[in-house]
Amino acid sequence: MSSAKPAINTALTNWTGPLGLPDFTAFNDQDFAAAFDAALIDDLADIDAIIGHPEAPTIENTLQALQLSGKALDRVSSIFWMLARANTNDAIQAFERSIAPKLSRHSSSIMMNPHLFARIDSLYEQRDLLGLDAETDRVLEKVWKSFVRSGARLDEPGKARLADINEKLASLGAQFDQNVLKDESDWALFITDEADLAGLPDFVRDAMRGAAGERDRSNAWAVTLSREIIEPFLSFAENRDLREKAFRAWAARGENGGDTDNVAIVAQTVALRSEKAKLLGYKSFAAYKLDNTMAKTPKAVMDLLEPVWQKAKSRAGEEEGDLQQLISKEGRNHKVAPWDWRFYSEKLRSERFAFDEAELKPYLQLEKIIEACFDVATRLFGITFKEKTGIPTWHPDVRVWEVFNPDGTECGLFLGDYFNRQSKHSGAWMSALQSQHKLGHVQKPIIYNVMNFAKPLEGEPALLSLDGARTLFHEFGHALHGLLSDVTWPAVSGTSVSRDFVELPSQLYEHWLTVPAILEKYAIHYRTGEAMPKALLDKVLAADTFNSGFKTVEFTSSALVDMAFHADGAPSDHPIEFEADVLQQLGMPDAIIMRHRTPHFKHVFSGDGYSAGYYSYLWSEVLDADAFKAFEETGDVFSGDLAAKLKKYIYSAGGSKDPEELYKAFRGKMPTPDAMIEKRGL
């Protein structure tokens, strides 16, 4: 299975930078091809050694050896995929299109290898006789299932077809992702007449001025498709024609015809996923994906989504009526359109609660919200953070912190990449350059967060919306899931949990942002240095469920369309018409669109991470609302005893046990959706 290994730049696989990081000054984009080729050869050599082991399969010579195989491939992959999302360019994108299917083919060759599976299967069949501890037993089961779900039991024609499908899906996912990025980065609406900025607060104008400068238009203001610019523009811009123009561009990402159009990619993806599921013995791709989750079945997902949808649609109808009245009061006769909703809801919030986003934003400095994230982690879990400067990373904006355990020992590293740029994919995410485990040796986690906040003008602080601050807390909750991981096996480290459990640590962490003790300390006006007035804080908390119908309709419609695409018999040849038909059957309000329309639904179509799984945010929200309620019931949202249980059973346990078992160990019982519905104000 092996061949001659090419000469490589070892900086990609042997990390000699400060603090155990890669030395980002020691390699360039052209080094990846040879490094991947060599790493793939090494990985296959590791597999050959396992298969060729002269002794009968044991946990050590088979399962452990498999878990520790491919270290060079893990390292070069972690750097490359980080760059492909956070700091890409033409060379990286071209290589991504070639390496994605190659990696898929490589994975298939391993997961469908009959000799390797025979060794794993032998261990699995005798697992009750091996005296395994609970974590090892769970890892063995997880690995065995992953082989089966990857086609290890198929006949040879079936294996060949599944490998072809996986390779094609990898190519389609990479192209989908790049198309969305190109549509987002290429589009800008340049405004040169200051009259067209009417209604826009200074923070929006400054962000637009900065975006125009990055595009060599220093004499203009630019509306871009970054959420940190487009959403406040839609919320404040009085020029309705410009709002419509910007909104239509935002909604049409991935659906503009030409080379970046994703419609055909979606059609092919849905068809291939359906074929894959049926090859593996499942009724639908949704059934295949959900078999390995807390929900287990499409019916369980729909049992959650459908009642929430009805409540959300009803509330959104009431909200739309209120906005229509506001439009009529202004002497206008148009109906609420999607490009009107944020504008008039912002006016209504200002009217009802006597504050708006522009009044709030000066108190939400990025720097202070980062400090707040760290403070909450210290109060709950005792960990501390120390920033290290002058360390080269993938971009000058990236910051590095050492993280320490309560006893002062090293916990890991945390990196933050906070500002939008044209080389970065939209959205916000957490990932790892290196995950924690203790198998064979102790490996400390190196975790990073990526955001897309508008970069401020020189000398000015970055100011966040309340949603932006929540996003920061959310992604840092994911980061803590990686940093606090305390498991032996890599397969269950950190966020290696079922998709509908992985959002619990992140969504739960959001709750602490609006704890009064945190806002009082960190919501500091960037000019005066004064804390947010209690009256404003009270209004912010009182308005927490404002516009909840709109927000829930946006989200739930996306989850329902995702499920519809991946259910049995979903047509794939005309995906846009299919999306429209599903929304019509649901009774989707005309004035609201999906949070992620199909042609740019990256959660679902740039890889299959959240395919038939976008519901999981809502599933996890049932858990997070109940979990925070547990803290509230103690009378102390930083309860030391409860925080210790939270760390042990949620943030540190990874996938070492069944998620339902872990949640019950923390809370004592499984929740009902009631706390989530109450939290959303539905």
Name the residue among 261, 262, 230, 235 with its Cα closest to residue 247. Answer: 230
Tell me the CA distances in angstroms from 666 to 281, 582, 626, one per residue in order.
36, 39, 11
Q: How far is CA 5 from the centre of its chain?
A: 35
Name the residue among 643, 22, 169, 102 with its Cα closest to residue 383. Answer: 643
Per the CB < 8 A criterion, the answer to whether 486 and 473 are in contact is no
Tokens representing residue 11 in the block: 């900086």
How far apart (Å, rounded) are the C-alpha atoms in residues 331 and 371?
A: 46
Burial class (CB in 10 A: 0-12, 13-18, 19+), 458: exposed
- Active-site hit among 475, 503, 510, 554: 475
Tokens representing residue 488 in the block: 């032996």
How far apart (Å, rounded) are the C-alpha atoms in residues 274 and 677?
A: 33
Angle in degrees, CA 161, 164, 170, rounded to 5: 140
> For residue 387, what are the β-bridge partners?
401
Name the residue among 353, 360, 377, 669 with its Cα closest to residue 524. Answer: 360
Burial class (CB in 10 A: 0-12, 13-18, 19+), 578: buried
Q: What is the phi/psi pair of residue 446, to 5°? A: -120, 105
Q: How far is CA 234 from the centre of its chain?
A: 24
Tokens representing residue 200 in the block: 């826009």
Burial class (CB in 10 A: 0-12, 13-18, 19+), 275: middle
How far apart (Å, rounded) are the C-alpha atoms in residues 186 and 179?
A: 10
Name the residue among 56, 628, 618, 547 with its Cα closest to residue 342. Answer: 547
Beta strand pairing call for 429-434 and 399-404: unpaired
Name the residue among 381, 405, 414 with its Cα closest to residue 482. Answer: 414
Tokens representing residue 522 in the block: 């960190």
Name the residue among 609, 619, 615, 617 with its Cα closest to residue 273. Answer: 609
Per the CB < 8 A criterion, the answer to whether 288 and 280 are in contact is yes
The number of helices, as runs of H, and strands, as runs of E, in the chain is 27, 7
In the chain, the largest separation of any two C-alpha atoms, in whole Å, equals 85
Q: Name the residue with tokens 């109060």.
A: 379
DSSP 378-389: HHHH--EEEEE-
How far apart (Å, rounded) are the C-alpha atoms in residues 236 and 544?
A: 19
Is 475 considered catalytic here? yes
In 10 A of CB 339, how many CB atoms?
A: 21
What sign does the dihedral 400-406-409-410 (CA atoms) show? negative
- Residues with catalytic function: 475
